[in-house]
């Protein structure tokens, strides 16, 4: 059901019945190390290229979430997947072995939010029963596509972020299950461009989009900022989180009590990650591990996921284009 | 909400900055040390080859430094030096070697011809083009002066 | 040469080399230049310094401090062109590249061999 401008609240319950998470070595040493289903010991995972590793990670996440839910592959109606590589080669190639219909989504690092929103639309009105959402990213594969060769001796900018090597998946179902979160509303974000051109400061490029989506969501649904226990943005990083707080405060929303950022949290304080993690796998893996498990355990009741994405390609920034941002909001709630 | 201009001003005012002193000091020291190593090789070659021309000694030093730069790139050490030293390891000739060896290694996976060889100059290509074009310009100007 | 003469000589090399890299770092910090731009800028600096005849004096004082940075590469290019220009126009346009063929060959061959042997790896955080 449509609410306000851009928010849709599903009439039937859409249950996130299971998640699966896989993290790379650096993330495995990070803050949520004990929450991941699997941590890779090295970046190759016996694959010849980083792209192949990423495909294998997506495959693992999809396979495991279906297995965990005690479903057969034929019970899954659709895989909605996304990643950062050109032509979505990681998520679609991973899906080729499953013989499950597949949709590819791209909102840069906000892809997981887009996948959740689209899946909830697919399940709504009884169209589909079970949908798997899966997004991920791999540092080595992303770096060579968007930045420099790994061995080039450059200095990381202090405002930059480190692309996470991780994948997270969630299985959404129309079938009722106790003690799991349901999707209560989705706000599809619009592209917001405040003309930030510095590709090393993605947090600043994405923060206006996140602010826009969060405020639109709260207005659409008629809730105050204290309704949610936690608002998790995707990968704004430490600086981006501060900027988002500032932007919302200017609009009269004080998010001090609930605003958290997965990118700023994913590594621990000793790791030299500059502003934190980023990438399509960042929110996906934190949600699939930490947030989902804490929600199921009853430690978090109402959570707003706001994955954020910076839209750029190597060519677009060389052609002098600015970096627009996008953010989608997905509200998760534990029903009594 | 703020408009783009105000926001850009806000960001450029508040964005995290490089610690100037630390990076400058690191660049100065690492750059200086690399040049001292280069001088060491020049002196060594001067001692070993007393009859050689100066230009040959210079070329031998460059080649040695390039070899070291490429090898350290291969072992995955050069990018660690670079992450601390910044320009201190980009500006010396070893940085030029790093900028050739690193894309070659990175794109080796796309095959020897279309990967390694084709992508070898994605970073260093502009350097070679600038060098050759500017040397031709210098040559022509000096030739005109010589004739006149 | 006495040991302290070496000390002074290498100290000068350190100072000049460090100063060149320091200028590069200032450019990186202030303008967010990438490594390709830095290399191009310093190469041009070397060409210009050689063409106007200043490079020689810096080299006299700082030795490898100015020749090991990419400025040395630029200076060799310009020097080759200047030497060639004394013979004919053909030599003027071809001697530049010829004078750096050693370094260029080394870079290509070593880059090629390194890429055949080693594999690039993400770093531990």
Average pLDDT on B114-141 reads 95
CB contact under 8 A, B82 and A243: no
CATH superfamily of A15-173: Stage V sporulation protein AD (3.40.47.40)
Query: Do A132 and A170 contact (CB within 8 A), yes or no?
Result: yes
pLDDT for B3 beyond 80: no
pLDDT digit string (tens) for B76-95?
A: 999 999 999 999 999 999 99
pTM of the model: 0.93
Direct distance between the N- and C-terminal alpha carbons of chain C, in angstroms, rounded to an integer? 47
Whether the CB of C67 is below 8 Å from some CB of chain B: the reply is yes
Query: Do A206 and A310 contact (CB within 8 A), yes or no?
Result: yes
B104: in domain = yes
Cα C65 vs. chain centroid, distance in angstroms?
9
Average pLDDT on B49-75 reads 94
Q: Which two three-digit tokens encode residue C121?
A: 């790896």
Q: For residue B76, give its domain range.
A: 20-122
- Write down the pLDDT at residue A282: 96
Cα C93 vs. chain centroid, distance in angstroms?
20
The CA distance from C10 to B103, in Å, is: 33
CB contact under 8 A, B83 and A154: yes
Direct distance between the N- and C-terminal alpha carbons of chain B, in angstroms, rounded to an integer? 66
B87: in domain = yes
B98: in domain = yes
Domain A182-333 has CATH 3.40.47.40: yes
Beta bridge partners of A192: A325
Interface of B with A (CB under 8 A): 1-5, 7-8, 10-11, 14-19, 23, 73-74, 76, 78-86, 89-90, 95, 98-99, 101-103, 105-107, 109, 123
DSSP state of A192: B
Q: B6 to chain C nearest CA, in Å?
A: 21
The torsion angles phi and psi of C18, rounded to 5 degrees, stand at -60, -40
C125: in domain = no
C122: in domain = no
- Write down the pLDDT at residue B17: 85
Q: Which of A89, A141, A150, A155 to mutate to test the interface with B (most CBs of B within 10 A)?
A: A155
DSSP state of A190: P
Helix ranges (H only) for C32-100 are 35-51, 55-62, 64-67, 70-85, 89-99
Whether the CB of B110 is below 8 Å from some CB of chain C: the reply is no
pLDDT for B2 beyond 70: no
% of chain B surpassing 90 pLDDT? 86
- Write down the pLDDT at residue C34: 87
C124: in domain = no
- Write down the pLDDT at residue C125: 81
C85: in domain = yes
- Write down the pLDDT at residue A272: 83
The CA distance from C118 to C97, in Å, is: 29
How many distinct structural domains can be found in chain C?
Answer: 1
Would you tell me which residues 33-72 of chain C have a C-beta closer than 8 angstroms to some C-beta of chain A? 34-35
Query: Do A266 and A276 contact (CB within 8 A), yes or no?
Result: yes
Which ipTM score applies to this complex?
Answer: 0.94
Query: Do A152 and B99 contact (CB within 8 A), yes or no?
Result: yes
The CA distance from A167 to A18, in Å, is: 14
Whether the CB of C44 is below 8 Å from some CB of chain B: the reply is yes
The CA distance from C10 to A6, in Å, is: 68
How many distinct structural domains can be found in chain B?
Answer: 1
For C8, counting Cβ atoms within 10 Å of its Cβ (0-12 exposed, 13-18 middle, 19+ buried), the class is exposed
C78: in domain = yes
Divide the 336 residues of chain A into consecutive groups of 10 and give the mean pLDDT of each group: 92 93 95 95 93 96 95 94 95 94 95 96 90 96 93 90 96 93 95 92 95 96 91 95 95 92 94 91 96 95 96 91 96 89
Closest partner residue to A151 (CB to CB) among B4, B18, B79 is B79
Delimit the domains of chain A by residue range.
Answer: 15-173, 182-333
Direct distance between the N- and C-terminal alpha carbons of chain A, in angstroms, rounded to an integer? 22
The CA distance from C84 to B71, in Å, is: 34
- Write down the pLDDT at residue B142: 95
- Write down the pLDDT at residue C55: 95
pLDDT for B1 beyond 70: no
- Write down the pLDDT at residue B20: 86
Residue of C nearest to B111 (CA): C116
Q: For residue C93, give its domain range.
A: 3-117
DSSP state of A151: T
Query: Do A278 and A199 contact (CB within 8 A), yes or no?
Result: no
Q: How many pairs of residues across A and C have Cβ atoms under 8 Å apart?
A: 33
Q: C110 to chain B nearest CA, in Å?
A: 6
Q: CB-side exposure of A186: number of CA atoms within 13 Å?
A: 21
pLDDT tens string, chain C, 125 residues long: the values are 788 999 999 999 999 999 999 999 999 988 878 889 999 999 999 999 999 999 999 999 999 999 999 999 999 999 999 999 999 999 999 999 999 999 999 999 999 999 999 998 888 88
CB contact under 8 A, A195 and B11: no
Closest partner residue to B87 (CB to CB) among C21, C81, C85 is C21
pLDDT for B138 beyond 90: yes
B96: in domain = yes
């Amino acid at each position: 059901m449509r609410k306000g401008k851009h928010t849709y609240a599903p009439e039937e319950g859409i249950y996130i019945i299971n998640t699966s998470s896989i993290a790379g070595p650096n993330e495995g040493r990070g803050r949520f190390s004990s929450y991941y289903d699997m941590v890779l010991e090295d970046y190759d995972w016996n694959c010849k290229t980083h792209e192949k590793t990423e495909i294998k990670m997506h495959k693992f996440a999809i396979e495991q979430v279906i297995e965990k839910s005690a479903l057969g592959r034929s019970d899954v109606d659709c895989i909605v997947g996304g990643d950062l590589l050109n032509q979505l080669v990681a998520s679609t190639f991973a899906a080729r072995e499953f013989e499950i219909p597949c949709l590819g989504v791209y909102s840069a690092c906000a892809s997981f939010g887009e996948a959740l929103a689209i899946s909830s639309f697919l399940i709504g009105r009884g169209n589909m029963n079970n949908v798997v959402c899966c997004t991920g990213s791999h540092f080595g594969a992303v770096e060579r596509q968007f930045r420099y060769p790994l061995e080039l001796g450059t200095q990381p900018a202090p405002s930059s972020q480190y692309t996470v090597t991780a994948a997270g998946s969630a299985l959404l179902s129309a079938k009722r299950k106790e003690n799991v979160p349901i999707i209560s509303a989705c706000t599809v974000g619009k592209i917001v461009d405040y003309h930030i051109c510095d590709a090393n400061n993605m947090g600043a490029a994405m923060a206006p989009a996140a602010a826009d989506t969060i405020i639109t969501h709260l207005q659409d649904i008629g809730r105050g900022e204290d309704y949610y226990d936690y608002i998790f943005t995707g990968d704004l990083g430490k600086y981006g989180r501060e900027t988002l707080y500032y932007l919302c405060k200017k609009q009269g929303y004080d998010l001090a009590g609930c605003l958290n950022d997965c990118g700023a949290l994913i590594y621990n304080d000793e790791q030299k990650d500059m502003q934190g993690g980023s990438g399509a796998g960042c929110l996906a893996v934190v949600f699939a591990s930490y947030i989902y498990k804490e929600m199921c355990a009853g430690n978090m009741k109402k959570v707003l996921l706001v994955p954020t994405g910076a839209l750029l390609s190597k060519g677009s920034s060389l052609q002098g284009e600015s970096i627009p941002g996008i953010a989608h909001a997905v509200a998760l709630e534990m029903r009594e | 909400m703020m408009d783009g201009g105000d926001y850009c001003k806000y960001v450029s005012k508040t964005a995290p900055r490089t610690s100037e002193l630390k990076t400058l000091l690191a660049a100065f020291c690492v750059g200086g040390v690399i040049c001292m190593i280069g001088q060491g090789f020049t002196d060594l070659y001067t001692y070993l080859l007393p009859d050689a021309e100066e230009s040959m000694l210079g070329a031998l030093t460059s080649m040695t430094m390039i070899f070291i730069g490429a090898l350290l790139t291969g072992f995955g050490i050069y990018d660690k030096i670079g992450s601390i030293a910044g320009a201190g390891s980009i500006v010396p000739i070893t940085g030029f070697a790093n900028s050739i060896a690193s894309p070659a290694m990175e794109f080796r996976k796309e095959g020897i011809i279309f990967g390694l060889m084709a992508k070898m100059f994605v970073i260093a290509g502009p350097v070679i083009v600038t060098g050759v074009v500017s040397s031709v310009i210098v040559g022509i100007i000096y030739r005109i002066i010589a004739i006149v | 040469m006495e040991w302290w003469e070496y000390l002074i000589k290498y100290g000068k090399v350190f100072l000049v080399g460090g100063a060149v890299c320091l200028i590069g770092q200032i450019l990186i910090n202030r303008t967010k230049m990438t490594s390709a731009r830095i290399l191009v800028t310093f190469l041009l600096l070397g060409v210009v310094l050689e063409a106007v005849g200043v490079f020689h004096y810096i080299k006299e004082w700082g030795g490898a401090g100015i020749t090991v940075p990419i400025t040395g590469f630029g200076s060799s290019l310009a020097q080759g062109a200047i030497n060639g220009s004394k013979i004919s126009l053909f030599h003027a346009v071809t001697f530049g590249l010829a004078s750096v063929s050693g370094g260029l060959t080394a870079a290509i061959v070593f880059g090629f061999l390194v890429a055949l042997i080693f594999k690039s790896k993400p770093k531990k955080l």
